[in-house]
Structure 1
Amino acid sequence: MGFRMAIDHLQTMLYGTDDLQHLHSFAQTMPWYLLLLIPVTGGLVVGLILNRFTDDGRVCSVADVIEGAALNDGRVGLRAGIASAIASMITLSSGGSSGREGPVVHLAAVIASKVSDWLKYDGVTARDLLGCAVAAAVSASFNAPIAGSLFAMEVILRHFAIATYAPIVIAAVAGTVVNRLAFGNIAEFTLPQASVLDFYEELPAYLLLGLVCGLVAVVLMRSIFWAESVADRLQQRTGLPAALRPAVAGLLLGVLAIGFPHVIGVGYETTAAALTGQLLLFEALGFAFVKAAAVSITIGGRMGGGVFSPSLMMGALTGLVFGILATAVFPEVSGSETLYALAGMGAVAAAVLGAPISTTLIVFELTGDWQTGIAVTTSVSLSTALASRLVDRSFFLTQLERRGIHLAAGPQAYLLAMLRAGAVMRPAADPKCAAESACRDMVAQGLCVEASATLEAAMPIFDRAGVDYVPVILRRPDKDGEAEILGALFQVDALKAYNRALAATAAEEHS
């Protein structure tokens, strides 16, 4: 809640309006140079913070929390995490076109990591505590206790263990209480009237909407990754300092905001307009294209923020466009175009997050409309099924895959990357280790692994060379890189360690 209120206060200072729910409308009356100057200044400050306090100059996000849950005993970095939260707060306050939920999730993970360090929690306990923190943060951000608890299990922990359920739900309820003490029991979006699916003949349209939304979600995700790759190449070719990259992104955003002020910030005003049918066909279509560009610039330019709110806006606009066309072509069997907007909002967001269950519930809890379940779940199911085939399951898992972290395929793929050769090898002094002379001959042939190498790198050597073991070495810089033989990694030992890790993961998931 403090993060959310800090954004509100800073945004009020920068844009000079207390009515943040209608910021975009107010921005239309502002001088063009202020719309340009504010995001540039914000980007400059963000660049200085990230390049001073992070290793790679990028904002930590939900992907880092998923990585922490899977590979790092439920922990994320403290220094980079705090810097990322401040950078995202500045980005969202100064007009960055992204969402606040991703930074909130990571900030919760930072707090959970610190508490786990204090209490000396490791393994399943630390991961459960991380899940509790995320559930509370999402619930406090959305006033959505059911969706918050399921989001933590579906997206972060990526399993639904019974033993994990109770503490996570309690944490989600606590987060919701905090939200309601501050804002009351108020839905984020208010629909004009109850949306009802009047005709079952209309269901095929929602199936088609799901496929359309799945493609839109893929286009949005790939646009962000393409923008990031292009920005990387341009930065290398031009020699642009990394600290200035967010400022350049802010400049591009400012240029967009002059003509399309709806790209500023989270975008809930435009989302609400789509859900209430206040936009015309070409207006909604144009807004969707410009919003996709703005989100790609913001995240590709390393300004910070998350993708959930932008995906809600993209989904609502997509659904509204589809609904306008559907009701015009088949008026005799079509219901409300705003119901299509609601279903589209859930469908695009679910595909981006790779979380059909929690996203569906978030849509219901955000709008307070539970009578649209058939339409929303129909579209969500098709969108996630299609999008998950065209990317690595979700936006976050694709981010990790691009960094060489293979979590999308499940524990059978990533557990090998958690085990080090030095931890599994037989030491040279062990009587059951290989002979030193044989190890030296293999090292001379290049058949060896560093002690810091993972089993993911070591296991292919056994199949490729047809050997039962490989020497484990340590390069000594003080001796011109001479290889010191520490021991030998046997294939049978590596397989035993892998099986133990798989068994432990299965036990946690079925606890």
Structure 2
Amino acid sequence: MPRKIARILIALRKLRRRLQRVDVLRVWTLAVLIGAAAAYGVIGFRFAIDAVSSLAFGEDEGGVVSGAASLTTWRAWAAPVIGGFVVSGILYLADRFKWLTGGRGQGVADVIEARAVTGGHISLRAGLAAATVSAVSIGAGGSAGREGPAVHLGATIASILNRKLGFTAKHRRALLGCGAAAAVSASFNAPVAGVLFALEVILGNYALSMFGPIAAASVAAAIVTRIHLGDFPAFAPPDYGAVHNTIDVPLAALLGVFCGLVASGFLQAVERMTVSVREFAQNRNISYLLLPPIGGVIVGFIGIFYPEVFGVGYEAVTKALNGDYAIHLLVILVLMKAAATAVTLSCRFGGGVFSPGLVIGAFMGAAFGAGLSQIFPGATASPVYYAMIGMGAVSGAILGAPISTTLIVFELTGEYGITVSLMVAVAIATLITQWTCGRSFFHWQLSRRGYDLSEGPQGIILKTMRVREVMEKMPPGSPLPADADRLETGQSLGAALAKLNEAEEHGLPVVDAADKDQIVGYLSRVKALAAYNKALIDEHIEHHT
């Protein structure tokens, strides 16, 4: 008898290993499909932005600055205003039909939330509605980036493809990262940066089990994008001359300090303006549907004088790299682009912050380099060199993703000669931003929804696991006395443990929010702690395998 039991156990272990190998094969296969599908989604998203931009400015997204400069004053001003009304209409329909919550677009922070809270689930309707809002916002001149919405779209595609295939929560999170990596890869033609962005920003770990399928998805997306759009960097900077490491690296460190201060100021401006706009609307009973047109009025007014603030801004970056702007204009553009982006995001236009960070950084670095060329002619590298460093330093500090941002700049420019200086500047800028602001843009967005990811896995588990998931269900019984302590099914595990400690009880009855006097379950302290410990162990295994 013991031998038969041993044989059965051995057979079960072998079967489990085979099933695990099958799961790995399924994950890798789906990762490649997600990569290709996300690439086509991003290509379609970019075409949609170009179509709106052509209607608004007579040029596609790559020529917005030139197109806006050639229009009459009123026509250039009207483009983001009309775009704001269209965005309001989409938000109204999305809110009425429950496609988007809270009357706002979605981006990278929502993907992080899906990974941490909902097990990788993103609604298809929410993904399509958010992409539509962002395409109209950016194409009509809103000062925002396309990469954040693209990441959300890629993650949506991943969520839809893996939803009904019976994957574990770990695999669903990995596949969500596949969609995000594919979107970054397709947006920037940057497959390496796509992998690291998904691991660094979306998943928050570098587990080996996650790396393989995410790399496969990123490569598949790059192949599809290169077939349809070509294989070349987004920017082709001119030659920046000789680099003197003994001089230029310390100067790059100094630029990193300035970029960190600029990134901190930008983050604080966006945060404060968002809060101020919300309070202004609430105090005066103004519907959120009026905010996009109001934002369009302000952005359009800035764009009349400085069309460089319109849209993603890559044409302005190319001009800055080519030395087309004077120092004083570059400094003004740093301020105007930051202000226009803060208005755009706070007034519920769709879009991300990575491209504005690149643009602001390019202006900042070009101004810094031009100033050095005038003070020390011929002794330092050209302004182009510092413009590329500024791109990485500001955007990396804003995103809180120094590793993937550094690689994105490499793959955007094709210039690896700036390696040492770029890493130094990005590290210093990120350090200053974390010291002054304490968090990245995405973590600030999540904190407004009640999630503090800086607390690590233990904090996330306590805030996202609900009482209904761990309680012992009970049949309906006698009503609970009005003065009796109780827990609610929708309470977080952390709140439930705090309540148990406060009541000094080993367990408490659980009621539903709809009927707070009717007992539907019971949660003991032992069961709550056991569920918490198991979730911690599972999280640890996922992060280290």
TM-score, normalized by the shorter chain, greater than 0.5: yes
Aligned to 2:406: 360
CA contact (8 A) 2:240 2:382 kept: no
Deviations 1:409-455 (A, max 9, x none): 221111112222232234457xxxxxx99x957x615x322122111
Aligned-partner residue type, residue 72 of structure 2: P
Q: 2:510 is paired with a residue of what secondary structure?
A: strand
CA shift for structure 1 position 220: 1.1
Q: Tell me the amino acid that sits aligned with residue 383 of structure 1.
A: A
Q: 1:196 to 1:141 in 2, by over 3 A?
A: farther
Q: Which residue of 1 aligns with 2:47?
A: 5
| Counterpart residue number, 1:484 | 518
Equivalent residue for 1:51?
Answer: 92
- What's the counterpart of residue 493 of structure 1? 527
The answer for the alignment partner of 1:26 in structure 2 is 67
Q: Given the alignment, which residue of 72, 79, 83 partners 1:42?
A: 83
Instruction: Specify every segment of 5 or more residues in structure 1 that has no aligned partner in the other structure, as ranges.
Output: 430-435
In the alignment, what sits opposite 1:433?
none
1:253 is aligned to 2:294: no
Q: Judge conservation of contact 1:476–1:483 (CA < 8 Å) in 2.
A: no
In structure 2, the residue matched to 1:127 is: 173
Q: Which residue of 1 aligns with 2:502?
A: 464
Partner amino acid for 1:125?
A: H
Matching of residues 286-365 of structure 1 within 5 Å:
286-331=332-377, 333-365=379-411
Q: Secondary structure at the match of 1:316?
A: helix
Indicate if the aligned counterparts of 2:181 and 2:195 stay in contact, CA closer than 8 A: yes
Deviations, residues 213-243 of structure 1 (Å, cap 9, x unaligned): 1221121122112221121122122322222
Q: Superposed, which structure 2 residues align to 1:44-443 within 5 Å?
A: 44-53=85-94, 54-194=100-240, 196-331=242-377, 333-427=379-473
Match of residue 39 from structure 2: none
CA deviations 1:168-211 (Å, max 9, x no partner) are 11111111112211222111111111555313243222222222
Q: Structure 1 residues 391 and 261, CA, compared in 2 at 3 Å: closer, same or farther?
A: same
- For 2:504, the aligned partner's letter is G
Residue 93 of structure 1 deviates from its aligned partner by: 1.0
In structure 1, the partner of 2:483 is: 444
Contact 1:51-1:242 at 8 Å conserved across structures: no
- Give deviations 1:33-83, integer Å, cap 9, x for gaps: 111222111111111111221231100111000111111111212222211
Partner residue of 1:432? Answer: none
Within 1, Cα distance between the matches of 2:513 and 2:179?
A: 41
Distance 2:243 2:126 in 1: 47
State the distance in 2 between where 1:371 and 1:16 align: 37
Could you tell me how far 1:329 is from its partner in structure 2? 4.2
Between 1:68-77 and 1:370-379, the stretch displaced more is 68-77
Q: What residue identity is the alignment partner of 2:89?
A: L
Deviations 1:137-159 (A, max 9, x none): 11111111110111111111111
Q: How far, CA to CA, are the matches of 2:398 and 2:366 in structure 1? A: 18
Deviation at 1:390, TM superposition (A): 3.1
Counterparts of 2:306 and 2:297, CA distance in 1: 14
Secondary structure of the residue that 1:121 maps to in structure 2? Answer: coil
Q: How many Å apart are 1:84 and its aligned residue?
A: 0.9
Alignment coverage as a number of residue pairs: 498
Q: Name the amino acid aligned to 1:419.
A: M
Write the distance in 2 (CA, Å) between the matches of 1:462 and 1:401.
26
Q: Helix, strand or coil: the match of 1:24?
A: helix
CA distance in 2, matches of 1:506, 1:291: 42
- Structure 2 length-normalised TM: 0.87
State, as a whole percentage, how many aligned pairs show the same letter. Answer: 40
Q: Quick one: which amino acid aligns to residue 27 of structure 1?
A: A
Computed over aligned residues only, the root mean square deviation of the Cα atoms, in angstroms, reads 2.1
Partners in 1 of 2:348 and 2:523 — Cα distance? 41
Mean Cα deviation higher: 112-121 or 304-313: 112-121
Contact 2:177 2:214 in 1 (8 A): yes
Instruction: Tell me, yes or no, if structure 1 residue 455 matches structure 2 residue 489.
Output: no
Equivalent residue of 1:28, what SS? Answer: helix
**Aligned with 1:471: secondary structure?**
strand
Distance 1:391 1:500 in 2: 34
Indicate conservation of the 8 Å contact 2:258/2:429, yes or no.
Answer: yes
* Mapped partners of 2:188, 2:305: distance in 1: 30
Query: How big is the shift at 1:283?
Result: 0.5
- Corresponding residue SS for 1:444: coil
Q: Is the 8 A contact 2:480 2:517 kept in 1?
A: no
Whole-Å separation in 2 of the counterparts to 1:128 and 1:355:
19
Shift of 1:330: 4.8
How far apart in 2 are the matches of 1:240 and 1:487? 43
TM-score scaled by length of structure 1: 0.92
Unaligned runs of 5+ residues in structure 2 are 1-42, 95-99
| Deviation, structure 1 residue 327 | 4.1
Contact 1:206 / 1:379 at 8 angstroms: preserved in 2? yes
